[in-house]
């Protein structure tokens, strides 16, 4: 060392200045935290979102509760949704009433029995006659004029309500994304459906943002070769066309067309799901449980306790 005193002041001053800046920044951040956050530009307030009315026909069978629990929990992920659950029964059943009450969803519970002449006979395959027709039409009646609700919300949507109607059977599998795709439907929107019609998927063919045809193998000349799970209808359009409903006498595979032909021209369908290139709903089928052991135990008076709801 040359004996010169070390000039330590500048580094110390610099360090002190740095600390002061940090203190300043901390107090700024604390002030920011106390300030109420600015209103986010997106997403819109749930109140501003159009309501999705999901129409589900259902009927009593061993897997009914499992199907409805699964569907209700999917629906509970979706904001601004109103579930119209329609039982194929003379009136509400305790199982469905209890499930709806526990679901936390906004719902309307409806019930209408399918006339005997339209019922599937024992051993008949499901495709012989359309199912759920009376039940879907009952939901359309409620949307248009109210009346007949056996639980939940009794009053139909007030005039001018922005919304969209989707027919969601209880055994399909739905991505939560699907609901945001359909929410802003202006007329009738469409998208592909997976695992249906004997294909990996069926769906509209789209060119330049317009529907130009349909990828389907089964009776491609149907007016609207789409699955029930593959379209949604704007509520104002359904209300403006009071005669539009499902026709129980429609030939096999023409049930969707019987409604849609009252509402829209195929060329005016609105493609969703990335121009119909993404599958967001699947036509899954739950197999019928085998009850051989149950029947055997019942014959011996040792069956499962009927008081336990399954």
Binding-site residues for UDP-alpha-D-glucuronate, please?
57-59, 88, 131, 136, 169-171, 283-285
* Phi, psi values for residue 200, rounded to 5°: -60, -40
Element (H, E) at 181: helix 176-182
**Residue 21: partners with Cβ closer than 8 Å, 6 or more residues away:** none
Q: For residue 202, how far is the Cα from the chain centroid?
A: 19
Q: Is the peptide bond before 43 cis (omega within 30 degrees of 0)?
A: yes
Would you state the structure tokens that stand for residue 278, as one six-digit string?
């993404």
- The yes-or-no answer on residue 47 being catalytic is no
Q: Can you name the residues that pair with 215 across neighbouring β-strands?
A: 203
Q: Which residue has the tokens 């063919």?
A: 205
Bridge partner residues of 205 (DSSP): 213
C-beta separation of 163 from 186 below 8 A: no
Strand partners, 152: 108
Displacement of CA 286 from its chain's centroid (Å): 18
Q: Is the dihedral of CA 34, 35, 36, 37 positive or negative?
A: negative
Distance CA 37, CA 203 (A): 44
Residue 205 phi/psi, 5° resolution? -95, 130
Q: Which member of 124, 256, 287, 309 is catalytic?
A: 256
Residue 199 bridge partners (DSSP):
196
Q: Containing H/E element for 210?
A: strand 210-215
Residues annotated catalytic, as ranges = 256
């Amino acid at each position: 060392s040359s004996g010169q005193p070390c000039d330590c002041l500048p580094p110390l001053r610099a360090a002190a200045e740095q600390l002061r800046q940090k203190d300043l920044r901390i107090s700024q951040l604390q002030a920011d935290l106390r300030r109420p956050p600015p209103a986010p530009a997106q997403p819109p307030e749930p109140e501003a979102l159009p309501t999705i009315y999901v129409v589900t026909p259902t009927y009593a069978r061993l897997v009914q509760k499992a199907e409805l629990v699964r569907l209700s929990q999917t629906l509970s992920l979706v904001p601004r949704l109103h579930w119209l659950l329609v039982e194929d029964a003379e009136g509400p059943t305790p199982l469905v009433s209890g499930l709806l009450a526990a679901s936390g969803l906004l719902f309307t519970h409806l019930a209408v029995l399918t006339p005997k002449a339209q019922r599937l006979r024992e051993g008949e395959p499901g495709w012989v006659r359309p199912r759920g027709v009376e039940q879907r039409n009952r939901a359309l009646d409620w949307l248009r004029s109210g009346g007949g609700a056996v639980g939940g919300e009794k009053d139909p949507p007030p005039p001018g309500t922005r919304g969209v109607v989707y027919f969601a059977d209880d055994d399909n599998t739905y991505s939560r994304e699907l609901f945001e795709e359909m929410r802003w439907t202006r007329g009738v929107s469409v998208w592909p459906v997976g695992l249906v019609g004997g294909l990996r998927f069926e769906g509209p063919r789209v060119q330049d943002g317009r529907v130009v045809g349909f990828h389907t193998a089964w009776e491609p000349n149907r007016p609207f070769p789409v699955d029930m799970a593959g379209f949604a209808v704007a509520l104002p359009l359904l209300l403006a066309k009071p005669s539009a409903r499902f026709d129980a006498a429609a030939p096999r595979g023409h049930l969707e067309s019987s409604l849609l032909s009252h509402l829209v021209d195929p060329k005016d369908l609105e493609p969703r799901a990335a121009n119909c290139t993404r599958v967001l709903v699947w036509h899954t089928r739950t197999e019928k449980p085998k009850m051989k052991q149950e029947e055997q135990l019942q014959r011996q008076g040792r069956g499962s306790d009927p008081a336990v709801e399954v």
